[in-house]
Amino acid sequence: MPDPPVPAPSATTVNPKQAAFNALKATLKNASDAMNNPANTQAAQAAARALWTETGEQLDALDQAQIADDTVALQAGAAQMTPGMEKLKALKEKISALGNDLKEAASILTGIDKAIAELGALGPF
Amino acid sequence: MIPKACRRHKARFCLFGAVILCGLGAALCGCTLSPLATRATAFSTAATAAIAQTTNAYQLVNQSYADAQVAMLVANWDTTPFDASKIKPFIPAKDLEVRTQVLEGLQQYATLLAEVSGKQPISDLETQATAAGNSLVKLQQDDFKGFKIEDQEKNLAVSAIAAIGGVLMEHERARALPGILDKMDKPIQQICKVLEDDIGTPDTPGLADALHRAYDRQIDAQKQFIKDHAASMSAEEKRTEIEELPKLVQGQRQADQALAATAKSLAALASAHAALTATKSQKDAPAFKLEMTQLVQNAQAINGFYLSLSTKK
């Protein structure tokens, strides 16, 4: 029998930060090209470096904002795990309890031993 | 008239025979792991590797960011005053703590799945049953000298008890595990997707971009250092500093690959869990096996990346 279809991942939503990110990356690349171009004057290279550093800091801030958003989403996901985890822990305890019950096996077997003695006293089967 | 000792002997064999038959019957009914339990155990093992590597990814980003800060501090020492407040980890402590807790939660889930699905509960049970059998032997020797049980009989009884216990455990698993997998699938999908997006790529906001640019800064700082101090360096010193540049470029490529593989591994983890859930009532599950192969391959690939990076440190 074939496997049932595996659910497809949810549709990818557009990240609202992506447009600003793309613009900053373009500025960063231009600044990098300008500061590494030996044909540019020292002043032009220094200005490009300042822009490169500033744009990098803005991108850092955008990455940090993404991390903060992800933190909130992760907390929500973790909260949703709780009911399933509780059920899994309960299952583990139930299975452990089955094993623990068998710790009483010695007394059960001892009971058999006594039963045999008593049955033996009753006469032929 | 049957002698009393003979009757007792016969009764003993009847009862032990019944116990052993029950056990053998139980064993034939399937005290071995069910296909779902086997798959859940396999998922748990692979998930553990993927989770460990995601933890490594966060450490890698923070370490590379710290290295970039040091490189920039050295490169700009003559022009920029030292500002202690700027020395901080890229991922703030509270955000890192949440990620650590979520990864620990995933790890706990994988561990619990393995514990309830694996052979350990049955092994524990066998140990306990053996101990019980030994107690019985000791008990007879001390108090029931007239009632001898051979080791072979004791072992058979122990096996029977373990087999019955195994069936009871499998019954509990078969009853509860599918529902638990259903309940856990949605949060697992959500968490893996967020973690995957959190890592991202160098072309999206997130850790991969931050890591890539941390290397860019280190490379730029190194170039700046060489440019500013080349005149005062010996040829050997200059060679050493220049040799650092291709190492940084290689490190950047490897770090990019490591994070890309980590993101891929998280996607594979989500797919494997979805396949585990979707095939919970299937005896054979080729789709699950395919997802598992992908997950294991990704986890192995990432492990190689992080090992190579850690040995270079």
Q: What is the DSSP string of chain B?
A: ---HHHHHHHHHHHHHHHHHHHHHHHHHHH-SPPHHHHHHHHHHHHHHHHHHHHHHHHHHHHHHHHHHHHHHHHHTTTTS---GGG---SS-HHHHHHHHHHHHHHHHHHHHHHHHHSSHHHHHHHHHHHHHHHHHHHHHHHH-TTS---HHHHHHHHHHHHHHHHHHHHHHHHHHHHHHHHHHHHHHHHHHHHHHHHH--TTSSSHHHHHHHHHHHHHHHHHHHHHHHGGGS-HHHHHHHHHHHHHHHHHHHHHHHHHHHHHHHHHHHHHHHHHHHHTTT-S--HHHHHHHHHHHHHHHHHHHHHHHHHHH-
Least reliable range by pLDDT among A40-44, B35-39, B213-217: B35-39
Q: Do A116 and B8 touch (CB under 8 A)?
A: yes
Distance from CA of A44 to the nearest CA of B (A): 15
- A65 secondary structure, DSSP code: H
Greater confidence (B88 vs B160) lies with B88
* pTM given for the model: 0.76
A57-64: Cβ within 8 A, 24+ apart: A58/A24, A59/A21, A59/A24, A59/A25, A59/A28, A59/B209, A59/B213, A60/B90, A60/B210, A60/B213, A62/A17, A62/A20, A62/A21, A62/A24, A62/B205, A63/B90, A63/B205, A63/B206, A63/B207, A63/B209, A63/B210, A64/B92
pLDDT band at residue A56 using 50, 70 and 90 as cut-offs: very high
**Could B112 and A119 be called an inter-chain contact, meaning their C-beta atoms sit closer than 8 Å?**
no
CA nearest to B40, candidates A76, A91, A83, A9: A91
Compute CA B229 distance to the chain's CA centroid, rounded to the nearest angstrom. 48
> What is residue A54's predicted lDDT score, i.e. its pLDDT?
95
Tell me what pLDDT residue A103 has: 55
Q: Which residues of B touch A96 (CB under 8 A)?
A: 121, 124
Which chain B residues are within 8 Å of A106, Cβ to Cβ?
131-133, 135-136, 139
**Res. B30 pLDDT band, cuts 50 70 90:** very low
Residue B180: which of A80, A91, A100 has the nearest Cβ? A91
Best mutation target among A18, A35, A36, A81 (most B Cβ atoms within 10 Å) is A81
Neighbours of B139 (CB within 10 A): 17
B residues 17-76 lying closer than 8 A (beta carbon) to A? 19
The band of B257, judged by pLDDT with boundaries at 50, 70 and 90, is: confident
Least confident stretch, A77-91, B104-118, B289-303: B289-303
The model's confidence at residue A114, banded by pLDDT at 50, 70 and 90, is low
A-B Cβ pairs (cutoff 8 Å, strict): 227
Whether A12 and chain B come into contact, CB under 8 Å, resolves to: no
Handedness of CA B165, B171, B174, B180 (dihedral sign): negative
Mutant choice from B83, B111, B135 vs A, greatest count of A C-beta within 10 A: B135
The predicted structure's pLDDT at residue A6: 47
Q: Which residue of A7, A77, A104 is in closest CB contact with B187?
A: A77
Q: Is the pLDDT of residue B31 over 80?
A: no
Q: Which residue has the higher pLDDT, B73 or A31?
A: A31
Provide the pLDDT for residue B103: 93
Q: How far is B311 from chain A (nearest CA, A)?
A: 28
| Alpha-carbon span A53 to A66, nearest angstrom | 20
Per-residue pLDDT, B196: 94
Q: Is A29 on the interface with B (CB under 8 A)?
A: no
Neighbours of B307 (CB within 10 A): 11
pLDDT reported for residue A7? 47
pLDDT on residue B313: 52
Residue B266, Cβ density class (10 Å: 0-12 exposed, 13-18 middle, ≥19 buried): buried
